Amino acid sequence: MRFRGNNQKQSSSEASGVKMNRFLSLVLLVCALFGLSAPASAQIFRYPEDTRPASLLPFFAEDMSSVRMVELIFESLVFINKRGDVEGGLATGWEVAPDKQSIRFTLREGVQWHDGKPFTAEDVAFTVHAAQDPQTIFNAKGKYKFITEVQVEGRFSIRFKFDKPINEPERRFTFKIIPKHAFSGTAISRKDAFSRKPIGTGVYMVSKYSLRSVSLQIFPNYWGQAKITGILMQHTPDKSAQINLLQYSGTKSGVQAVVFVPPKNIPLFENSDSVVLEPYHTVSWWYMAYNHNNPSLANRAVREALAYAINREELLEANLGRGDVLSGPFTESSPFYNFEVEPRAYDEQRAAQILESAGYKLQNGIRQKGKEKLEFRFVLDKELASNQSLFLGIQAQLKKIGVSVKPQYVDHARYRELVFSQDNFDLTLNVWSFEEVEDVYPLFHSKGVMNFIHYRNAEVDKLLDQAKGMHDYKQYKEAMKRLHAMLDKDLPYFFLWSLDLYSGISKQVKNVFIQPYYYFTSFKEWELNP
Amino acid sequence: MGGDHPSQECKAPSTPGSKKLRSLPLGLYLSGGIVALVFLLGLIAPLIPYDPAAAVDYQRQLAGPSWSHLLGCDGQGRDIALRIVKGTEAFFWPGILAMTIAVIGGAACGACAGYMRGWVGQAVRGLMQLLDTLPRLVFIVLLCTILDPGMYLIATTAGVLFIPTIAAICRRKVETLASEDYILAHIAHGFHPAWILGYHILWLQCRPLLIRQACTVFSYVLFVETALSYLGDYGVQEPWPSWGNMVAQTREGVGFWPWFVPAVMIVVSIAALLAFGNAIARREEAMR
Amino acid sequence: MKRIFLALLRRILGGFALLLGASFIIYMTVRAAPGDAIDAISPMGTPPEVKAQLMAEFGLDRGPLAGYGVWALRSLCGDFGDSLVFAPGERVMAVALPAFGRTLLLAGGALLVCLCFALLWAACNPGGSRRSQLLGASLYGVTSAPSFVIAVAFAQAVNELVYRLVDARGFVTPSWYPIPIACSSMMPYLFAGITLILSDGLLIDLVNYLRSELQALRRSPFIAAIRAKGARVTGHLLKNMVVPILSAYASRLPVVLGGVVIVEYVFTLDGAGYVLLEASKNRDFPMVVGLSVLFTALVILVNIISDVVKGWLDAREVAHGG
């Protein structure tokens, strides 16, 4: 932007050819200052984000805004294309060994890093070594666990060995590759400057990293092609401001996309002639978690009663828009979803009956069994914007069966502490998002790292352990379907829904395809018409 | 500039306040009336039963004003008028608390700093300077993001942070009055210094200033409460109503009424509070 | 001269002590936070020894008192530490100073404009007349709205206006439209400045203050004497108003600086208020402490400067206040 303004000033001063008078230069200065002379270029794609990308170093890109941006800057060996097939990125080909215990990738030649250095197999090996270094601490470490050995077989050839036979192992190589020469060792710290000045092989390189916005420009030596020459991400925490930016975006202004349009704003764009609502299906589902260390909630009857008392359809419609009500830990688009298990229908009377027969009697509007009162602390993360209104609905519905819930809204850091590390909650509302593979082992196995609800069920453990060892995809699918039915019955969580999400995309943008998780995977093909 | 019109200039001192007295009451009564109304709402609000869980009714989402719901309903089908009234709870008692802390603390500290010459006075002056260097809203926002405090703690902090301002005013007054003849006469008569300070200086001389400052502190608490609740992460949390989190409903893109009414309430109350304090102070000054 | 120099030295030393005290309060507040930075960034199920390692890496393993001691010593040498979460690994001051500069420019500029306007208003409407009462009342109504209300309304109004006037007719759209778009022009800062001037009762506060000072001055015997001589009083009035104007500026600056936090949020500016909000949400201790100390240091500095200038203009101040 700033460049543009200066250029314009120079060219116009040359064109006039004479010494500019004071007035003209003043006007120009004012124009440059206010940016009037430089209308937003049509070739810059702008989009707002709810949160600031915390880190542009792929390992530490844990929030969604970082994930999206990293997708534009870095590349992986392979990626999953629109049709769901594996397509070569930095790798041009691969062979899986007959015993399915290793894979050999042939890498693309002539690829350059953004700083001009060549990309080789050493970089790939370095990425895996760095990820496996115990001193590199990040969330998705588990994704690299299956690799036991890396062999660099040539400048552009690399072999990976696995701990056990894996079906379609190439699907697991969608992690981003980082350059070896940018780091001094395999122990990578969060404080590394690379997270602000990333060097990738992707189509876009960071041209300006400021506090609130990140500008990307097209990498001239990229091996492939892209149509849009520049991208500007701006952190706009206020959702209504994002909607404003899209709504008022004229032909040359505003933003070209809003990643997530809240359901309440959808009518605004439904018949718009400048904005298209693009649906995209994330692999994510909402749940209400019960803390199984709470004696009342350890009682299955109570969990079931709560599940019957909550009217999910009504909550969805009033607060979130369209979505599917679920009965288990998978989305309906997942191969593991068991359609034979019907989601519980809302039934207030039945909920009251269940509590009644479990010995909980209504006293002063609250159900009690002896001294045990059905009063729960509902811990909510403020970062999830719809939590407040959702909670209101849930509170009202639970009140009808004599269960009282008290809200505790906390910020994200405190939420993690209360719910995930201190076990200091009774109920909570949250969303799990998955990349492609829905692995629920860590959620429900009694030894699972993400089993923050302290769920213990020997049968479930057994099934999960069995499934982990399965090599046959069909068998695994069946096991997951059985798990689905089991979890529906035992209710470790109350599985709520998966949402139909919509992005608002300006009609100037053509050829849009949104990848559910990484979002910008096919951005190379997007076009921006002025 | 006005200073160039001597004719106008001469009038003011020659008719000490007579004209002002006649023209003032309108503003005073108007602002006073609004302040009284806000205080009344604040007082009766706790008596009105309100169950946030029962108030939600998806059947009357965004219903317009009607006889049963005077100001209509919001995005959750909750009655806006009732929420406006209940919303006063969020700042009323915290505001009173902050006002008390700031005025009593400020007057005491100001009197100490102005009257005592020894190390106590020095210490009080130092403490006032220290408190004065903390930027108020920055510190409160800091406190909120870090400790997640309730409104009462926020109000206490606001009150404490206002002490230096009030103390400075009182101190100046004490210092100028301390050498006045009638105060010296009182001292010579053997009156207790606390009596002289408390009654003759603070009560008789600083009262209008204190009232004005009290109004400022109260309006500040109202501002902080609504602003924090508007930001959403701090302040009063849904389901409990606050004028600020009602305005924040703009963010959900809901209709016009649900946020317009509380916004008007905020602006009018703050304006009335400031104007009222000012009018009282000016009236007392004019009467003297 | 020597006396003035000594007084200045004392003032600076005093300011330094104040800064230490204030930074202690801020440091302790921040350290009292539940849910520290480590929990905000470490994945679920991180083993305790790894957490301990992270704690040490981020300098959180010391107790609060010892931690403050180390922090104070280091920052005396100009080392305010590294940011933890907001801009991982970046020097705190490398982020905080430019952001703070922008905020200062915004707040300081807005206050300056506001002060000039208030002075004009106070001079033209000395109070008393029906007309000035009405004007005063309208000023109350307009400017006592909280900044967030004004900011939201302002952004909406400007967007709508530009949309109607420019965009719909195919004229060149300014780069700052629609609000709040990130752009390299100064326009968002201008809007934020206007919002600051018109909100939070700042203007009315200044008008009241200046008006009463002006009135006191006009009634003073020395102006009466000048007037009796038949000379123009404007110059004298102005000269004598410098001290009250200065102290008004010094005392209101912290208030305006605070208000910036909210305005920056609405207009998507990247100033100190934004950094402070984001950093404290993420429990970025060094950043939060560094930035708050900057805020405090500025307040102290402005006070010292205003005292010095006052002393320079009015010798009594030095003798009296020291």
Degrees, nearest 5: CA angle C122-C125-C128? 120
pLDDT value of residue A119? 95
Length, in residues, of chain B:
288
Phi and psi at B41, nearest 5°, equal -60, -45
CATH code of residue B238: 1.10.3720.10
Q: Strand order of the sheet with strand A230-235?
A: A44-49, A230-235, A213-218, A204-209
User: Which residue on chain A is closest to C96 by alpha carbon?
Assistant: A211
Run means of pLDDT, 10 residues per run, chain C, 322 residues: 81 90 88 67 65 70 84 87 82 91 92 93 77 77 84 83 71 77 81 90 87 86 85 82 88 84 84 87 84 89 86 58 38
B28 falls within a domain: no
pLDDT > 70: what percent of chain B? 88
The strand pairing partners of A95, in sequence order, are A104
Question: What is the pLDDT averaged over residues A90-109?
Answer: 93
Report A:386-445 residues touching C (Cβ under 8 A): 410-418, 420-421, 442
Question: What is the pLDDT averaged over residues A495-500?
Answer: 90
Residues B270, C201 contacting (CB under 8 angstroms): yes
Q: How many domains does chain B have?
A: 1
B61 falls within a domain: no
The strand pairing partners of A87, in sequence order, are A79
pLDDT value of residue B192? 80
The amino acid at residue B250 is T
pLDDT value of residue A143? 85
**What is the distance between the alpha carbons of residues A345 and A28, in angstroms, rounded to a whole number?**
67
Subunits next to A (3 or more Cβ pairs <8 Å) are B, C
- pTM equals 0.81
- CB atoms C200 and B223 under 8 Å: yes
**Chain C residues inside the 8 Å CB shell of B27:** 133, 136-137
**Chain B residues inside the 8 Å CB shell of A382:** 232-233
Subunits next to B (3 or more Cβ pairs <8 Å) are A, C
Phi and psi at C63, nearest 5°, equal -65, 165
Buried residues in A6-16 as b, exposed as e (16+ CB within 10 A): eeebeeeeeee
**What is the distance between the alpha carbons of residues C18 and B130, in angstroms, rounded to a whole number?**
6
**What is the distance between the alpha carbons of residues A62 and B50, in angstroms, rounded to a whole number?**
41
User: In sequence order, which residues have a C-beta less than 8 Å from that of residue A69 and are 6 or more positions away?
Assistant: A53, A56, A61, A214, A216, A233
Task: Provide the ipTM.
Answer: 0.82
Question: What is the pLDDT averaged over residues A386-414?
Answer: 86
B233 falls within a domain: yes
Tokens for A410, please give them: 């906390």
pLDDT band at A75 (very low <50, low <70, confident <90, very high): very high
- CB atoms B75 and A389 under 8 Å: yes
B264 falls within a domain: yes
User: Which residue on chain A is closest to C95 by alpha carbon?
Assistant: A211
- CB atoms C167 and A39 under 8 Å: no
Highest mean pLDDT among B181-190, B230-239, C12-21: C12-21
Of B54, B148, B254, the CB nearest to A396: B54
- CB atoms C18 and B129 under 8 Å: yes
Subunits next to C (3 or more Cβ pairs <8 Å) are A, B
Q: Enumerate the H helices of chain C as residue ranges.
A: 2-31, 37-41, 48-57, 64-76, 92-124, 130-143, 147-162, 187-198, 202-219, 221-229, 234-267, 272-281, 285-313, 315-321
Interface test with B, best of A319, A389, A394, A429 (most B CBs within 10 A): A389
**What is the distance between the alpha carbons of residues A143 and A442, in angstroms, rounded to a whole number?**
13
CA dihedral A278, A281, A282, A285 (to 10 degrees): 120
User: If DSSP codes are grouped into helix, strand and coil, which group holds residue A358?
Assistant: coil
pLDDT value of residue C318? 43
pLDDT value of residue A500? 84
Q: How many residue pairs bridge chain A and chain C with CB atoms within 8 Å of each other?
A: 173
- CB atoms B271 and C123 under 8 Å: no
pLDDT surpassing 80 at residue B160: yes
Nearest to C178 by CA among A310, A253, B217, A498: A253
B40 falls within a domain: no
Which range among A73-77, B81-85, C144-148, C184-188 shows the weakest confidence by mean pLDDT? C184-188
pLDDT value of residue C124? 84
**Chain C residues inside the 8 Å CB shell of A450:** 44-45
Give yes or no for a cis peptide into C178 (omega within 30° of 0).
yes
**Chain B residues inside the 8 Å CB shell of A240:** 250-253
**Chain A residues inside the 8 Å CB shell of C279:** none
User: In sequence order, which residues have a C-beta less than 8 Å from that of residue C281 and are 6 or more positions away?
Assistant: A411, A412, A413, B145, B233
pLDDT surpassing 50 at residue A33: no
- A156-176: per-residue pLDDT in tens? 999 999 988 888 889 889 999
Distance of CA A15 to the CA centre of its chain: 50
- A193-245: per-residue pLDDT in tens? 899 899 999 999 999 988 888 999 999 999 988 989 999 999 988 888 888 88
Highest mean pLDDT among A87-101, B121-135, B183-197: A87-101
- CB atoms C33 and B230 under 8 Å: no
Tokens for A433, please give them: 């998002």
Please give the domain boundaries of chain A with CATH numbers for all domains. Answer: 37-55+202-281+504-528 (3.40.190.10), 75-194 (3.90.76.10), 283-499 (3.10.105.10)
Degrees, nearest 5: CA angle B70-B72-B74? 145
B272 falls within a domain: yes
More confident call, A224 vs B18: A224
Residues A11, A199 contacting (CB under 8 angstroms): no
Give yes or no for a cis peptide into A48 (omega within 30° of 0).
no
On average, the pLDDT of chain A sits at 85
Residue B175 belongs to domain spanning: 85-287
pLDDT > 70: what percent of chain A? 91
**Chain C residues inside the 8 Å CB shell of A34:** 174, 176, 185-187, 190
SS3 of A24-38: the string is HHHHHHHHHHHCCCC
Neighbours of B122 (CB within 10 A): 12
Question: What is the pLDDT averaged over residues B120-130?
Answer: 88
Question: What is the pLDDT averaged over residues A338-363?
Answer: 91
B71 falls within a domain: no
**Chain A residues inside the 8 Å CB shell of B75:** 264, 389
B9 falls within a domain: no
